[in-house]
Amino acid sequence: MRTPLIAGNWKMYKTAAQAQEFVDAVRPHLDGADAADVGICPPFLALPAVVQAAGGSRIQVFAQNMYHADEGAFTGEVSPSMLLAAGAHGAVVGHSERRQHFGETDAALALKVPAALEAGLTPILCIGETQAEREHGETEDKLRHQIQEDLAEVDPDRLAQVVIAYEPIWAIGTGVVATPEQAQEAIAFVRALIAERSREQAEQVRILYGGSVNAENAPELLGLPDVDGALVGGASLKPDSFAAIVATAGG
Ligand code: 13P
């Protein structure tokens, strides 16, 4: 059985003080059942505040990006060992906003994903197609390409240590959510791609859905057989809606 993960990607929202306020408010809601893992992905500057405020709780903290090298002359970058030392559990890599606005490439991700695993961090690898790619029937080609390239250097026996987030770009921040059929079909396809390298790991790897998830649509999405949780943007910024989504996942 795969433990669902509900992770809140805050994107470029919240100062350290606002982050602490959020964690203080959400913690009491997470004290009950623990059938789901809970993650928060704050901006770098708020990461230590979330680690501290979440101490002793089951909240896992993820960065929103990471460079693959451990140290060096890479101005503006943050390394896996720095994240580990700050108390992070993992890092989101390959988010479509980084691919779109900051030139993140599959070649860079082919280095980042194994570097995270090597450091003992859990990578949350984001993949997904644009509206135009879906309309042209290219969704599966895009997903196949991203999975092949981004996970190329990951040992087949370690694939289940990666968390994959299927985030159709047309559903991100738009209020347009994938239909249950679209989400299930794409995520089952991604699992089949992993099975081409290891059947066993494909059974274990967690694949999340992301894109306009909220407390209202979460029950249907999280009830789908291949959907192992959600990467939540906007609805993760408020303690109430985030806690409601976690509760839906059995948390
Ligand atoms: P929204 O939930 O705001 O659509 O964002 C999804 C996302 O990009 C999570 O990484």
Beta strands in the chain (DSSP E): 5-9, 37-41, 59-63, 90-93, 122-127, 163-166, 206-210, 229-232
| Residue 224 CA to ligand 1 centre (angstroms) | 19
Q: Would you state the structure tokens that stand for residue 125, as one six-digit string? A: 């690898």
DSSP 2: P
Pocket test for ligand 1, best of 232, 236, 237 (most atoms within 8 A of CB): 232
Compute the distance between CA of residue 114 and CA of residue 208 in angstroms, rounded to an integer.
19
| Residue 43 CA to ligand 1 centre (angstroms) | 14
Residue 103 has a pLDDT of 98
Residues acting as catalytic residues: 95, 167
Task: Output the CA–CA distances (angstroms, integers) from residue 238 to 29, 57, 59, 101, 245, in the order listed.
Answer: 12, 18, 15, 25, 11
Residue type, 182: Q
Residue 31 has a pLDDT of 73
Compute the distance between CA of residue 86 and CA of residue 226 in angstroms, rounded to an integer.
33
| Residue 17 CA to ligand 1 centre (angstroms) | 22
Q: Which atom of ligand 1 is the closest one to the Cα of 11? A: 10
DSSP for 41-82, written as a single string: E--GGGHHHHHHHTTTSSEEEEES---SSSSSS-TT---HHH
Domain ranges of the chain: 5-249
Q: Which atom of ligand 1 is the closest one to the Cα of 172? A: 4
Residue for token pair 């059938």: 35
Q: Would you state the structure tokens that stand for residue 190, as one six-digit string? A: 């991604």
Residue for token pair 């794409």: 186
The distance of Cα 152 from the centroid of its chain, to the nearest Å, equals 19
Compute the distance between CA of residue 47 and CA of residue 84 in angstroms, rounded to an integer.
11
Bridge partners for 127 per DSSP:
166
Write the burial class of residue 199 (CB in 10 Å: 0-12 exposed, 13-18 middle, 19+ buried): exposed
Q: Which atom of ligand 1 is the closest one to the Cα of 234? A: 3
Residue 1 has a pLDDT of 85
What is the mean pLDDT for each group of 10 consecutive residues in the chain (251 residues)? 96 98 95 85 98 95 98 98 98 98 98 98 98 98 98 98 98 96 98 98 98 97 98 98 94 68
Ligand 1: which residues within 6 Å by Cβ? 9, 95, 167, 172-173, 210-213, 231-235
User: What is the pTM assigned to this prediction?
Assistant: 0.98
Q: Would you identify the CATH topology of the domain 5-249? A: TIM Barrel (3.20.20)
- Of 31, 20, 4, nearest to 243 by C-alpha is 31
